[in-house]
Amino acid sequence: MNVNRLALIFVFLLGIFIGVAGGGAAGGVAGYLVSRQTVAQVSATVTSLRTQPVAATTNSAATPAQSPAVSDAVVVSLSDAMVEAVKRVAPAVVTVTVESSTGRGSGSGVIISNDGYIITNNHVVDGGRRYFVLFADGVRRQANVVGTDALNDIAVLKVDGEVPGVAVIGDSAALQPGETVLAIGSPLGNFRNTVTAGVVSALNRSVPGSGMEGLIQTDAAINSGNSGGPLINLKGEVVGINTMVVRNELGFGSSAPVEGLGFAVPSSIFSNVADQIIRTGQVRYPFLGITYLMIDGEVAALYNLPVQNGAFINPGLGGQPAVLPNTAAAQAGLREGDIITAVNGQRLDHNTSLRQLLLQYRPGDTVELTILRDGREQNVTVTLGERPSNLR
């Protein structure tokens, strides 16, 4: 009996040992497979970059397709993907120096054409008399202002002669919160081509007091002098132009330290703006002629609205009327209290503002607005006007 009991105990303990060891081995195999899959995904991203050329060019007639390729080293990490993305766009990043009657200022910019067109911020060039750009390779060149847009804080400069690189413009509409992005620029005007990393914190942001909508929010460090520099994705594509940071002194009602609140104009906006400036020297904006609030949960609760998304037509600050007289909105019969929910069938939501949708059209275009009035949805046809130049 004693021998049999000892045998049973031995078999029982052996079974436990095999179960634990087997489970650990299975877990180890699973972890290994997951890690291999993650590495493969990052490797695939960067390998696809290596099949594409970098931004550097060797002459004014060259295109990015003629650029030298990046080395074929094996890529196994997110860090490698970031390095490759920077290599792709860095030759196209410039430092912008502005001379005015009050002194000198600086910012950043990015070359978008072999013809020498450079995007930067309007506030970088505003008030300047002479402009210079310093390329990543240290060459300094005088530049001229082609045109500016104060509404979206975009300006276009032009330099003559060869350029060291041309950036590829990406699709900001494909961005997702949590996605890794990189900011490149010249903080304080001295530290040329500084790279900072972060994530997309949010999309379609508005900054109170700025008049700007549809911004990309990021926690990548943006300091004085970074303004006008590119925000890029891991493909090395420019998806935003860095424009501002929020700090305590802007008066948001908190004395706590503020960090990681940077904002960039998305490519979905700046591409259209830059294209108009290059073609005509100015930007013509469609104009409805309303003051409105973009609706979210808080606005809906405050005004007891029946929807959580849309543009709520209501009086502006300082007694500005909800519907301006003799405008497209007035002629179409829009009223205070109407809620615009769609433009030509495209719905307004937390990622899509009214301004973003209207920027797809030109003054004189006719669009169909879907509105909610007195609890009923209806369609209204509007022929868009042109935004007056004295309005921000």
Q: What residues are labeled active site?
A: 123, 153, 227
Phi then psi dihedrals of residue 321, to 5 deg: -65, 155
Under 8 Å between Cβ of 55 and 64: yes
- Tokens 């900011």 — which residue? 183
Q: Are strands 237-245 and 262-266 parallel, antiparallel or unpaired?
A: antiparallel
Under 8 Å between Cβ of 64 and 56: no
Strands (E), 71-162: 93-100, 103-111, 117-120, 130-134, 140-149, 154-158
SS3 (DSSP) at 161: coil
Question: Which residues face 205 on adjacent strands?
Answer: 215
Question: Which residues face 25 on adjacent strands?
Answer: none
Residues 6 or more apart whose CB falls under 8 angstroms from that of 236 comprise 49, 54, 55, 84, 85, 86, 87, 88, 89, 168
Question: Which residues face 366 on adjacent strands?
Answer: 383
